[in-house]
Structure 1
Amino acid sequence: MKFLMLIMMNVLLLVGCSLHNNDKVDEIIEKISVVPIDVNEPDTVEAVAKNEKRSLSIKHEVKGHDVYIECYVPNFHFSKENVGKRNKDGEGHIHLYLNGEKITKIYKAAFIVKGLPSGKHKLKIEIAHNNHTPYDKLYEELEVKIP
């Protein structure tokens, strides 16, 4: 529980940075990495987005220049093997945005954004169908500050 709270605090700090220059965003994107991790703890909520069928709960924590993020989407399967294939309700992946720029696709519910520079940053976590179209209202935007 403490770990999740720490993750949530870190992501909030990270999301606050609003860059005005695409060159700066590209420079940041080149320096960071996103690492998927396995998590077995599907409880607690910091931010919640809902559509009629699903909800998205996100916990995050900032540790140094890294943001630990855990997503909980009930009755949803993260699927790398079906990306680009026919949509199946309750299946898909995550699109991760940093300061308004899409930086990667993620196929696990938990991941780490590593190596963010000091300052405020905005992260958007969007749940997408197999064909990359977003699920309606299944996204969260986080603001984090990196020391």
Structure 2
Amino acid sequence: MRVILCLLACIFSLVGCQNDKPKPETNKEMVSFSGQAAMETIGTEKQLVVHQHVRGANVYVECIINGFSFNDGNGFLEVKVDGKAINPIKQAAFVIKALPKGSHQITIELMKNEQESYDLKESFTIKIV
């Protein structure tokens, strides 16, 4: 008898949990943008924002460039450390490794594949201790 009562109590509690769950209050209407429309909403002027972090002798760099994608093959980053260019960078995040101790001037410029500048350049100074 106890087993039957326990079984019925379990069944009733499971059935009680079957209430309608609230639906999320999101807009179900999806809006798609063509590439041109998306560019107009963001703005057509490119901007370069650089974040850097020094850890040991390495500099971790992240570049945010609105209206530009390295996947399109439209250019690269020219990186100079103390005026000396390192290999062209074709991604937004990278590491400059094994810098010697002291202060270093780092310049990052967005370039077109034809070695022509997009006129986007950022410079900063870091110190390796």
TM-score range, shorter chain: 0.5 to 0.7
- Any gaps of 5 or more consecutive residues in structure 2? 1-43
Shift in Å at residue 97 of structure 1?
0.4
Q: What are the superposed Cα offsets for residues 92-117 of structure 1, whole Å, 9 maximum, x if unpaired?
A: 11001010111220000000001001
Match of 2:80, SS state, is strand
Q: Identify the residue that residue 126 of structure 2 maps to in structure 1.
A: 144
Amino acid of the structure 2 residue aligned with 1:128: M
1:54-93 equivalences under 5 Å are 54-79=46-71, 82=73, 91-93=74-76
TM-score (norm 1): 0.55
Contact 1:97–1:104 (CA<8 Å) still a contact in 2? no
Q: What are the superposed Cα offsets for residues 20-58 of structure 1, whole Å, 9 maximum, x if unpaired?
A: xxxxxxxxxxxxxxxxxxxxxxxxxxxxxxxx8210001
Distance 1:74 1:54 in 2: 5
Contact 1:121–1:145 (CA<8 Å) still a contact in 2? yes
Query: Higher relative CO (CA 8 A, sep ≥ 6), structure 1 or 2?
Result: 1
Match of 2:86, SS state, is strand
Amino acid of the structure 2 residue aligned with 1:68: Y
Shift in Å at residue 128 of structure 1?
0.3
Match of 2:88, SS state, is strand
Match of 1:106, SS state, is coil
**Alignment: residue pair count:** 86
Aligned-pair Cα RMSD in Å: 1.5
TM-score (norm 2): 0.63
- Any gaps of 5 or more consecutive residues in structure 1? 1-51, 83-90
TM superposition outliers: structure 1 runs of 4+ over 2 Å: none
Percent of pairs with identical residues: 35
